[in-house]
Amino acid sequence: MATSDELTTAALRARISSGDLGDEAFRALSFIASLLSGGRRDVSNARDLLIRMLDLRSQFGPSEPAYEALLREAGLFAYIRSPENLPVGDLLALEAHRPLDFPDPDVIFHPVQARAYRYLLSGRSVILSAPTSFGKSLILDAVLRSGRFDNVAVVVPTLALIDETRRRLIRLGSGHRVISHPSQSLGERNVLVMTQERLLEVEPLPPLDLFMIDEFYKLSIPAGQPDRSALLNHALHRLMKTGAPFYFAGPNVQTIADGLPELFEAAFIATDYATVAVDMVVLPRPRREERIAALLNLCQDLEGPTLIYCSRPESARNVAAALLDAGLGRQVAGATDAADWVAREFHPEWLVGRAMRHGIGIHHGKLPRALAQYQVDSFNDGRLDWLVCTSTLIEGVNTTAKNVVIYDHILNGRVLDYFSFANIKGRSGRMRRHFVGKVYVFRDPPSENLPTVDIPLYSQSDDVPESLLIQLDDQELTERSRERLRGVLDQEIVPVETLQMNAGIDPSRQIELVRHVRSLSAFGLRQLAWTGLPTYDQLQAASQLIINFLNPISGRQHGVSSANQLTFRMNLARSVDGDVRSLVEQELVNPRSEYVDDPDGAVEATLDFLRHWPGFLFPKLLIAAQNLVNPTLTEAHLRADYSVFAAQCLNLFLPDQVVVLEEYGFPAQAAESLIHRLRPYDDLDSLLVRLAQVDPALVSDTFERELLIRAQEGLRPSESA
């Protein structure tokens, strides 16, 4: 190490990285102490150095108390392991940062966490922008354990985050009923953990004491998913009307846009406070044809669990196959059972199963949720060494990756901006597991430029879709927004109430659909006037309304490019009762399919179609169409009721409620084979009670039994709570 006069942060960081402080421990601590006080005060670098030294504690000897005193001074209370050595003043400071009535005695807030926590306990709203390793979710957990909030809503961006949050809050044992589906009944004290789409279906909301929006930057309307952002703003509008204080949490945001109304007043906390350190390694940028070789060359030398970010499922598949072919995986105990199950239920040649046998996980949006959850758990438990993922794993799901490799510098077809880059980078390192994470990139990182989050609900710029504006009361609209809605509000073809009921759908498209229906012949109207289950022709008539008006398609959308194709695929799915393996086999032999003799493509295209169309979009649009066509049908003494078929679609044509169990980590195929032991049940609540009580020994398949036990553990509080 350099002499006393020459000692720098970089020099000390290099010495720490060598793993040997030699006889320089006290001198290193003295340098850090100088960063925490006096004219050269640099708390951020001091904190970073202290975190990097956590793995070297055994080298401190008699300097250990000095190290712990510096941890306290830097606010890293959770890393202090010998509080009895601290003076009384420091002990008091430590206890002041301990959350109330928390079941884990090792949980102690750092100063910025404690500030946000105290604000929320006092009833003040908080907007928190902080790194991934900050501990934003822990603040919510502590607030719930305080006992001061009876009803809380938590809006998360993905179903994967619903599962992770629900499991965490149930283990917390705060006395709240954790509700993640609109069909569940409310208790005396509730935590609603839902996506924006589900929250909008809850009628009525309980009287809220607090609501949280996780990843709140998604309120801004991006180029990629404007409809989901509009629905998130719609959900925010509904939540704001409750008058409850709010907690917005997310990463890497500079500020909130100006011009928000007074009711939006909150403590804005933007911080770079992190509880892990990160090293970034910039590697030479390879030519396109050499990218895989460069990645494999890097991975040969990596140690510890590694997450590899790819831009698309196809890229993730290529990377996982390359790791497998290069022999970089290892045989994993227990993986054979999981891989055999995947081979049986989907296809023997599907890469996901083959890769799992060798310690390689794959995570993207086309995977069944239970299988995706299982792989994340296996990665966190050390059963998988590699997890090749897309952005589906970047949006808030916690992993224990030591290393993050950014293979593709693309997201949603665009070069990664600093915000997205920092979010991916933040997945490296994990508190108490990997104190120093490493991030490897194949090009220079983007320049630091954090975004300002706009909230279209209030800004009402021209980018805000009319489907959001129509949800606002007249006094909430700007003059410009009123003018934009003039044609919608003044027309008499579709009542405004109906346009609002069909949340997230362009009002103009709804009006055009009704105009079209009014022009139909008597035969055309009869094709729309069905109840229960439709014939093929009736299904096609409904599909034409959906594709031609409510959801126009340009190109191909999740395996569908026309109304005729949507009809054919929906009918095929119901004809095999949602049997994924049968659908895959038919995809492989269909001469018109692009996936002939391509098991990977056939499986993932099938899963993608099922999740997006029957499992989500089609039933929503079908009910919207029903709302729109019924007034015209009534005039012709006809009626439509599409609700039964819509429910079948949501259940992927499997027994009622079975598909929902995917979200609890128990796959639909396994639940279907167990359904006779789960009956009788009337609704999701009673089904979950039955699932929690069934004897796992009754499940013969080893992998399904493991998943059942995991699902049951996620349905009850931890013993320490």
DSSP-derived 3-state class of residue 152? strand
- 369-379: string of b/e by CB count within 10 Å (b at 16+)? bbbbbbbbbbb
H helix intervals, 39-125: 43-52, 64-73, 88-96, 111-121
Judged against a pLDDT cut of 80, whether residue 656 lies above it is answered with yes
Give the tens place of pLDDT for each residue, 674-720. Answer: 988 898 999 999 999 999 999 999 999 999 999 999 999 999 886 65
For residues 378-406, average pLDDT = 88
Are residues 78 and 99 in contact, defined by beta-carbon separation less than 8 angstroms?
no
For position 4, what pLDDT does the model report? 43
For position 89, what pLDDT does the model report? 86
The pLDDT-based confidence of 5 (bands split at 50, 70, 90) is: very low
Instruction: Kindly report the number of other CB atoms within 10 A of residue 268's CB atom.
Output: 14
Are residues 239 and 206 in contact, defined by beta-carbon separation less than 8 angstroms?
no
* Domain segments of the chain as ranges: 9-82, 111-270, 281-441, 472-503+505-650, 659-713
For residues 289-296, average pLDDT = 96
Judged against a pLDDT cut of 60, whether residue 1 lies above it is answered with no
Give the tens place of pLDDT for each residue, 576-628. Answer: 998 999 999 999 999 889 999 999 999 999 999 999 999 999 999 999 999 99
For position 3, what pLDDT does the model report? 46
Give the N- to C-terminal CA distance of the chain in Å, as an integer: 47
Contacts of 205 (CB under 8 A, 6+ apart): 153, 192, 238, 239, 242
Give the tens place of pLDDT for each residue, 316-333. Answer: 999 999 999 999 988 777
Contacts of 22 (CB under 8 A, 6+ apart): none
Q: How far is CA 298 from the centre of its chain?
A: 29
Judged against a pLDDT cut of 70, whether residue 261 lies above it is answered with no
For position 257, what pLDDT does the model report? 75
Model confidence, pTM: 0.93
Give the tens place of pLDDT for each residue, 446-483. Answer: 888 777 888 888 888 888 899 999 999 999 999 999 99
Report the share of the chain in percent with pLDDT over 90: 73
For position 397, what pLDDT does the model report? 74
Q: Which amino acid is at 490?
A: D
Domain 281-441 is classified in which CATH homologous superfamily?
P-loop containing nucleotide triphosphate hydrolases (3.40.50.300)
Judged against a pLDDT cut of 70, whether residue 39 lies above it is answered with no
Question: Between residues 83 and 625, which one has the greater pLDDT?
Answer: 625
Check for a shared fold between 111-270 and 281-441: yes
Nearest to 126 by CA among 222, 214, 230, 218: 214
For residues 627-652, average pLDDT = 97
Q: Which amino acid is at 629?
A: V
Indicate the range of 262-266, 571-575, 651-655 predicted with least confidence. 262-266
For position 167, what pLDDT does the model report? 93
Give the tens place of pLDDT for each residue, 493-541. Answer: 999 999 999 999 999 999 999 999 999 999 999 999 999 999 999 999 9
For position 120, what pLDDT does the model report? 98
Given this structure, which CATH class describes domain 111-270?
alpha beta
For residues 377-384, average pLDDT = 92
Q: Tokens in use for 574?
A: 């119901």
- The secondary element (H helix, E strand) that includes residue 438 is strand 436-441
Are residues 138 and 107 in contact, defined by beta-carbon separation less than 8 angstroms?
yes
- 622-648: string of b/e by CB count within 10 Å (b at 16+)? bbbbbbbbbebbeeeebebebeebbeb
Q: Tokens in use for 206?
A: 């309980």
What is the overall mean pLDDT for the chain? Answer: 92
For position 305, what pLDDT does the model report? 93
